[in-house]
Amino acid sequence: MLQHKRKKQWVGPLLVVGFLSTILWAVLFLDVRPEFVQAQSDDGLFAVEGDVPSTVAVHVAKDVDASNKVWTSVVSDVYVAEPDGVLLPVPVTIHMKAADYSGSKTYSIAYFDGDRNTWVPVDTTRNTETGLFEAHTNHFSHWALLERPVINTFDTDREALLADVHAMIPVGTTGYSVDLAYATVDADFVLLDQEADRWICAQPVSVRDKRVQTVSDKSVSLRIDGVERSATLRAITHWDVGSGCSTLIHPQTP
């Protein structure tokens, strides 16, 4: 009985020591408290600021090779915010300045989506006092400032491309969506219409195995700021493949 009581007496202190050790380990090795960070490129035209986990070392720089390329709509140098690809728990602010700003044009900050090989514009505002363009993001990537002309696609070209996609539905497709992008420079695409077309299964799907992405290009004429130009219209299709779907339909919109 005495030995049993002594064992019980040791349990409490051991639990306390174990708890304190866990807390100390977490403080030393898992310190992810947010810290306010400001990082700026050497030329002062690109900056990131906001709260990031203390374990993330933020660095921004100009990507010289990418900046020397000819792009469809990029009107700035290309910058990379590192660690490239990291996801943040809360959004940070991207600041960019246009070297040659024109009040008659529309601009957007954009990131390069490597999966779609496409520049993706994000919601952008311009601070009239500082002249800086601002956008918010929860991930680091390659960034640039894009000029956003008014793009008009001819309905016949658009519908023909979407019809071509629908005609190549893979076996086992349970749904798909199509993003449209355009390029006036070879292999340089800018997102034009997110989810331009979408189909879902008419009945509950029994199995969803994987998601597959394909691209289809069509040479078209686009009206860009009122001027007709030769361009490429690209359909980036995301296929959901599985089994148990016999009919695809357009989802009902409210």
Contacts of 56 (CB under 8 A, 6+ apart): 83, 86, 88
- Give the tens place of pLDDT for each residue, 116-132: 889 999 999 999 888 89
Q: What is the dihedral of CA 54, 95, 47, 109, to 10 degrees?
A: 100
Give the pLDDT confidence score for residue 32 in this predicted structure: 57
Report CA torsion sign: 119, 51, 84, 95.
positive
Whole-prediction pTM value?
Answer: 0.80
The per-residue pLDDT for range 132-171, each reduced to its tens digit, is: 999 999 999 999 999 999 998 888 899 999 999 999 998 8
What region, left, alpha or beta, does residue 47 occupy, with left being phi > 0 and alpha being psi -120 to 50 degrees?
beta
Domains for the chain: give ranges and CATH numbers: 34-147 (2.60.220.30), 151-249 (no CATH)
* Integer CA distances (angstroms), 229 to 44, 95, 245, in order: 35, 32, 41
Q: What is the pLDDT of residue 6?
A: 45
Q: How far is CA 184 from CA 42, 222, 224, 229, in A?
A: 31, 9, 10, 8
Q: Is the pLDDT of residue 21 over 70?
A: no
Q: pLDDT value at position 130? A: 87
Extract the tokens encoding 45.
Answer: 């035209």
Q: How confident is the model at residue 84 (pLDDT cuts 50, 70, 90)?
A: confident
pLDDT one-digit tens code per residue, 203-228: 888 777 789 999 999 999 999 999 99
**pLDDT reading at 37 higher than 70:** yes
Place of tokens 């019809």: 163
Between residues 59 and 13, the one the model is more confident about = 59
Q: What is the pLDDT of residue 19?
A: 53
Q: Report the pLDDT value the prediction gives residue 254, as an integer from 0 to 100.
A: 54
The separation between the first and the last C-alpha atoms of the chain, rounded to the nearest angstrom, is: 73
Residues facing 232 on adjacent strands: 183, 219
